[in-house]
Amino acid sequence: MRQVDAPGAAHQTTTGLDSRKLLMWAFLASECMFFGTLISTYLVYRGRSVSGPTPHEILNIPLTSISTFVLLMSSLMMVLALAAIQRGDMGKFRLFIGLTALLGLTFLGFQVYEFTTFSQEGLTLQTNLFGSTFYTLTGFHGAHVTVGVIWLLSLLGFSYTERMRPEHSLRVEIAGLYWHFVDIVWIVIFTVVYLVGSY
């Protein structure tokens, strides 16, 4: 089905699909490969560190479970924001998009706390293979979350101008796709790195 964002932005495509949404899905497919290689590297080097700290010694499962829950709830807020702007309810849209960004920032706060604690306990990027692969993988994920939060806050800011109206809901949908992707990557990281990794 062909989708239209702004009235002036309507355009025909050979696929009948909006090019911007197609581009985002192509980007997400490439991101799957990117994170796939990082997760593969982590798994290949799992258990190969000759010095500590090891995942079992250092990973804090209860704390990470809470941050995982926070990120899952941010995904809920994101779809509720999309549903709100599609209904034309700008007030609810601002509320939910703001909450999504806030939960994203909370998740980042958990990650900063975790990295600081690990560093104090002796795990740095250079300590061992676990440190190198762990910080690279979770650090890149954190960078993606940071980009997502900036994107969400810019949408919130634009909603107070004419540049973000209900007819621009596709922009929110595309931002949502990125945000949910960040969420599903964390779903995999939480299981592979934290639960299976520290087992």
Partner 1 sequence: MSQSDKNQQRREEPRVQNQPGGEQSWTPQPRTQGEPTSESIGTIQASAQVVALERQHPGPATYVRIAVVLAVITAVEVLVYYADAFRPFLVPTLLLLSALKFSLVVAFYMHLRFDSKVFRTLFAFGLVVAATILVALLLINSYHGPVPGAGVA
Closest-CA residue to 45 (of 194, 193, 195, 199): 193
Instruction: Please say which residue, 44 or 143, places its beta carbon nearer to partner 1.
Output: 44
Instruction: Please say which residue, 9 or 150, places its beta carbon nearer to partner 1.
Output: 9
State the nearest-atom distance from the C-beta of 125 to partner 1, in Å: 11
Other CB atoms closer than 10 Å to residue 131's CB: what's the count? 21
- Angstrom distance (rounded) from CA 158 to CA 146: 18
Which pair of tokens denotes residue 170? Answer: 């596709």
State the nearest-atom distance from the C-beta of 193 to partner 1, in Å: 11
State the nearest-atom distance from the C-beta of 70 to partner 1, in Å: 11
Amino acid at 33: M
Distances 134 to 22, 25, 64, 110 between C-alpha atoms, Å = 32, 27, 14, 15
Instruction: Please say which residue, 65 or 116, places its beta carbon nearer to partner 1.
Output: 65
Instruction: Please say which residue, 128 or 138, places its beta carbon nearer to partner 1.
Output: 128
State the nearest-atom distance from the C-beta of 61 to partner 1, in Å: 6
Closest-CA residue to 107 (of 149, 47, 164): 149
Instruction: Please say which residue, 4 or 150, places its beta carbon nearer to partner 1.
Output: 4
State the nearest-atom distance from the C-beta of 149 to partner 1, in Å: 18
Assign 110 to helix, strand or coil. Answer: helix
